[in-house]
Amino acid sequence: MTGADARCQRIVRIRAVEHRIAQQMLAQAQREVDHIRSIRDRITALNRANSIEAGKSCGIALAVIAETQSRLARASQSTIAPLNQALAQVSHRQANSAHAEMREQSARRILEKSEAKHNANAERRASASCCYRTNVDAGGEQ
């Protein structure tokens, strides 16, 4: 194996690690989005459960329920910006992951071409040491 082949293999390993890191970062960003969505869903469920029953509530209970609903509405509104930021982060990380995968595949193709060239040169050297050569392209002997 030549130094160029070893360098190509190192590049492939590095690009594979970069791709794995990009995938992990994408998964982390997706978990953040899922976490924010679950918080928003819990707030919505609490707001739905916090309803006023007609005729069975006193004035203080109605005031508490109204205050709770307004706080839950503010909490729900405060999840909009973090959710949008997390979604933007996910799309950015998806692009990074796709780019890292493309770079890894490119490095693999370069390595395969290098190995094929190395094998062809080894075969050429081996056939050159024979007492006669066969013309592989023409299919006959020289």
pLDDT at 104: 93
Q: What is the mean pLDDT of residues 103-130?
A: 86
Residue-level pLDDT at 90: 96
Q: What integer is the mean pLDDT of 91-113?
A: 93
Nearest of 42, 46, 78, 79 to residue 65 by alpha carbon = 46
Burial of 108 (0-12, 13-18, 19+ CB in 10 A): middle
pLDDT mean over 45-73: 82
Q: Which residue has the higher pLDDT, 93 or 116?
A: 93
> Smallest Cα–Cα separation from 123: which of 133, 138, 109, 113?
133
Q: Identify the pLDDT of residue 142.
A: 46
Range of the domain at 89: 3-113
The structural domain count of the chain equals 1
Domain for residue 11, yes or no?
Answer: yes
pLDDT at 92 over 50: yes
Does 66 map to a domain?
A: yes
Residue 48 lies in a domain: yes
Percent of the chain whose predicted confidence (pLDDT) is above 70 = 87
CATH of the domain at 38: 1.10.287
Residue 28 lies in a domain: yes
